[in-house]
């Protein structure tokens, strides 16, 4: 299928409210067609995206790799309903949508024209098969200043390394929204020899390279009942990191042969669209000619009235190669400005020039509009982590430390635009970090201009011993907390006067029924940049 056809098909499928009866497909009988559940996302003041994907037969990866699979027909008609009540007595929208093979039998529906700031219920049906009822909501009206918003931010859910007990506890957090900051899937095959500690779950999938591989990987992850329940609880805003494509990739640069990598990236991007509650408008950008999707515009702003605006960034798709990374090879584990002067090259970007300007414009809009909290929702840790005590310097090559000039431009943009409060959220490193954001990390006496909360992983292991994380905190005084040893999620409780981040950690990631505890709590008061222990 040509890229252009794919785009127009996706756009038509996402916005068509209903099909004439004659256009419905034949109905498949007595089959379980929704084993990967439902999701909603990208909430606006008048609607949201609803998502599901039809799948026939056993979930791939959980059965022998050669188990025969019966393909679904080219096209299937799915019915859907949105109601004000859980019993579907007051249905406010309903229709039919096509699930087509070219888009992995995924359904994306953009529902609009609803009331601001309220909850809705939805479900999909085909023949006798009905999805469980799920809940979602619209954002508050653009000019409203809600008294409170509660959302969680999560990242890094490597399926084989842990159970998703965090999501079970998240259901009790009374959330409006879940923000997913990357590494929704991991592309790896099972390791040839068992690692230590041993893996918690086992699948049969090969390392993901093709569109079919990536589709299977999402199906495996989405078959998890706790993850499904978290998607049924509220809308999600999703971004990606590297493992949705390939470990440590940077823009057009990956490991292995360049054209293999670009084909893989295109397949992975298409599978990401197919499996996430995204608007069809994300499909409009990119360069042509790589076979499948050559770009997805996933960076987007999401307003929550005047209380919050999320600037969801994409630090993977447009970034320059890590400093001193050999073409086709892996990035260095750590870089120093002495051994790798390229590190300091001001031309290197994390966001790409266009997205850099877009963030700057957005922060200026927030300042003008009086947005209370400007949230930079991005993938990885932002604050400086010098691995050595000064005057020595040694940095991670793939976090913002690997792109110091680009980080300084973003800091300058925050300082220049001066939105009322700036909070940076991240993931990727499988560790909890709480940091003061300094106007210039090279100058420890420069003003604090924001607050950073980098959340730990839901399930992915951390290779960093806690003693090392603590040593980094000790000689980077803007780092207020560094914990490498716990898995979990973070909850932000936001009012016009105060932002509160609670770091929640599971007792035992190897158990789906694990307990939960609070690791730490930090607040940010309106007008006072920087987190304070609560």
From the list Ca ion, Fe ion, none, pick the one residue 267 interacts with, judged by a Cβ distance below 5 to 8 Å according to partner type.
none
From the list Ca ion, Fe ion, none, pick the one residue 110 interacts with, judged by a Cβ distance below 5 to 8 Å according to partner type.
none
Nearest C-alpha neighbor of 385 from the set 399, 373, 374 = 399
- Residue 320 CB, nearest approach to Ca ion (Å): 17
Given the complex with Ca ion, which of 241 and 294 has the nearer CB atom?
241
Per CB under 5 A, which region of 231-239, 281-289, 428-436, 523-531 contacts Ca ion? 428-436
- Residue 286 CB, nearest approach to Fe ion (Å): 25
Using the 8-state DSSP alphabet, how is residue 447 labeled? P
Per CB under 5 A, which region of 218-226, 235-243, 344-352, 370-378 contacts Ca ion? 235-243
From the list Ca ion, Fe ion, none, pick the one residue 228 interacts with, judged by a Cβ distance below 5 to 8 Å according to partner type.
none
From the list Ca ion, Fe ion, none, pick the one residue 460 interacts with, judged by a Cβ distance below 5 to 8 Å according to partner type.
Fe ion
Given the complex with Fe ion, which of 49 and 429 has the nearer CB atom?
429
Given the complex with Ca ion, which of 173 and 183 has the nearer CB atom?
183
Given the complex with Fe ion, which of 76 and 156 has the nearer CB atom?
156
Per CB under 5 A, which region of 90-98, 102-110, 420-428, 467-475 contacts Ca ion? 420-428
Verify binding: residue 242, Ca ion, rule CB under 5 A: yes
Main-chain phi, psi angles of 134, to 5 degrees: -125, 165
Helix (H, G, I), strand (E, B) or coil at 151: strand
Given the complex with Fe ion, which of 249 and 441 has the nearer CB atom?
249
Total residues in contact with Ca ion, by rule CB under 5 A:
4
Given the complex with Ca ion, which of 47 and 182 has the nearer CB atom?
182
Given the complex with Fe ion, which of 156 and 280 has the nearer CB atom?
156
Verify binding: residue 213, Ca ion, rule CB under 5 A: no
Q: CB of 522 within 8 A of CB of 453?
A: yes
Per CB under 5 A, which region of 57-65, 68-76, 95-103, 238-246 contacts Ca ion? 238-246
Cα–Cα distance, 523 to 534 (Å, whole number): 6
- Residue 398 CB, nearest approach to Ca ion (Å): 8
Q: Which pairing describes strands 236-238 and 177-180: parallel, antiparallel, or unpaired? A: parallel
CA dist list (Å): 196 to 461, 463, 464: 11, 11, 14
- How many Cβ atoms are within 10 Å of 145's Cβ, its own excluded? 14
Verify binding: residue 244, Ca ion, rule CB under 5 A: no
Tokens 């090392």, residue located: 468
Given the complex with Fe ion, which of 334 and 369 has the nearer CB atom?
334
User: What is the gyration radius of the CA atoms in the chain, in angstroms?
Assistant: 22
Verify binding: residue 241, Ca ion, rule CB under 5 A: yes
CB-count burial class (<10 Å; 0-12, 13-18, 19+) for 252:
middle
What is the contact surface with Fe ion in residues (CB under 5 A)?
156, 183, 460
Q: CB of 138 within 8 A of CB of 114?
A: yes
Helix (H, G, I), strand (E, B) or coil at 167: helix
Given the complex with Ca ion, which of 134 and 351 has the nearer CB atom?
351
Given the complex with Fe ion, which of 44 and 315 has the nearer CB atom?
315
Please calculate the CA angle 220-222-227 and round it to the nearest 5 degrees. 130
- Residue 431 CB, nearest approach to Ca ion (Å): 12
From the list Ca ion, Fe ion, none, pick the one residue 173 interacts with, judged by a Cβ distance below 5 to 8 Å according to partner type.
none
Per CB under 5 A, which region of 17-25, 136-144, 178-186, 281-289 contacts Ca ion? 178-186
- In the chain, count H helices and then E strands: 8, 24
List residues bridging with 498 in a β-sheet. Answer: 525
- Residue 260 CB, nearest approach to Ca ion (Å): 21
Cα–Cα distance, 264 to 209 (Å, whole number): 5
- Residue 28 CB, nearest approach to Ca ion (Å): 38
Q: CB of 258 within 8 A of CB of 242?
A: no
Verify binding: residue 187, Ca ion, rule CB under 5 A: no
- Residue 399 CB, nearest approach to Ca ion (Å): 10
From the list Fe ion, Ca ion, none, pick the one residue 242 interacts with, judged by a Cβ distance below 5 to 8 Å according to partner type.
Ca ion
Among 428, 438, 452, 505, the residue binding Ca ion under the rule CB under 5 A is: 428
- How many Cβ atoms are within 10 Å of 147's Cβ, its own excluded? 10
Q: Which residues contact 402 (CB under 8 A, 6 or more apart)?
A: 322, 323, 331, 335, 343, 395, 396
Which helix (H) or strand (E) segment holds residue 368: the answer is helix 353-369
Sign of the Cα torsion 119, 41, 247, 34 reads: positive
Question: Interface residues with Ca ion (CB under 5 A)?
Answer: 183, 241-242, 428
């Amino acid at each position: 299928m040509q890229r252009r056809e794919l785009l127009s098909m996706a756009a038509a499928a996402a916005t068509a409210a209903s099909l004439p009866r004659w256009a419905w497909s034949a109905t498949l009988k007595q089959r379980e067609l929704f084993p990967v559940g439902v999701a909603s996302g990208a909430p606006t003041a008048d609607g949201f995206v609803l998502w599901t994907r039809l799948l026939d037969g056993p979930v791939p990866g959980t059965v022998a790799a050669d188990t025969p699979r019966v393909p679904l027909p080219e096209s299937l008609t799915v019915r859907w309903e949105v109601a004000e009540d859980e019993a579907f007595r007051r249905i406010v929208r309903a229709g039919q949508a096509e699930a087509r093979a070219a888009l992995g039998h995924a359904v994306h529906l953009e529902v609009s024209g609803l009331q601001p700031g309220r909850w809705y219920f939805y479900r999909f049906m085909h023949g006798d098969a009905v999805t469980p009822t799920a809940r979602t909501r619209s954002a508050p009206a653009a000019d409203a200043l809600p008294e409170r918003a509660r959302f969680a931010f999560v990242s890094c859910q490597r399926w084989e390394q842990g159970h998703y007990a965090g999501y079970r506890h998240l259901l009790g957090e009374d959330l409006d929204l879940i923000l997913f900051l990357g590494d929704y899937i991991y592309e790896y095959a099972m390791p040839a020899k068992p690692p230590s500690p041993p893996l918690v779950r086992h699948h049969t999938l090969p390392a993901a390279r093709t569109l079919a591989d990536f589709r299977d990987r999402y199906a495996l992850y989405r078959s998890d009942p706790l993850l499904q329940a978290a998607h049924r609880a509220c809308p999600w805003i999703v971004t990606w990191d590297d493992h949705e494509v390939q470990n440590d990739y940077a823009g057009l640069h990956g490991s292995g042969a360049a054209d293999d990598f670009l084909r893989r990236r295109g397949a992975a991007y298409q599978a990401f669209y197919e499996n996430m509650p995204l608007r069809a408008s994300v499909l409009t950008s990119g360069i042509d000619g790589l076979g499948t999707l050559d770009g997805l515009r996933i960076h987007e702003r999401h307003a929550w009235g005047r209380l919050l605006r999320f600037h969801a960034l994409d630090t993977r798709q447009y970034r320059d190669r890590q400093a001193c990374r050999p073409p086709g090879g892996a990035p260095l584990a750590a870089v120093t400005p002495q051994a790798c002067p390229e590190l300091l090259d001001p031309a290197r970007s994390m966001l790409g020039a266009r997205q850099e300007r877009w963030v700057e414009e957005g922060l200026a809009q927030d300042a003008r509009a009086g947005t209370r909290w400007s949230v930079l929702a991005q993938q990885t840790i932002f604050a400086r982590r010098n691995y050595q005590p000064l005057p020595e310097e040694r940095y991670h090559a793939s976090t913002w430390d690997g792109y110091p000039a680009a980080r300084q431009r973003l800091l300058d943009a925050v300082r220049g635009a001066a939105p009322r409060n700036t909070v940076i959220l991240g993931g990727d490193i499988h560790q909890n970090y709480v940091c003061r954001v300094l106007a210039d990390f090279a100058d420890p006496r420069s003003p604090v201009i924001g607050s950073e909360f980098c959340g730990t992983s839901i399930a992915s292991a951390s290779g960093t011993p806690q003693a090392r994380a603590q040593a980094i905190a000790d000689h980077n005084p803007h780092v207020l907390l560094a914990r490498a040893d716990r898995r979990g999620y973070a909850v932000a409780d936001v009012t016009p006067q105060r932002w509160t981040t609670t770091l929640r950690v599971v007792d035992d990631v190897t158990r789906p029924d694990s307990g939960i505890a609070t690791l730490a709590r930090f607040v940010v008061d309106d007008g006072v940049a920087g987190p304070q222990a609560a």
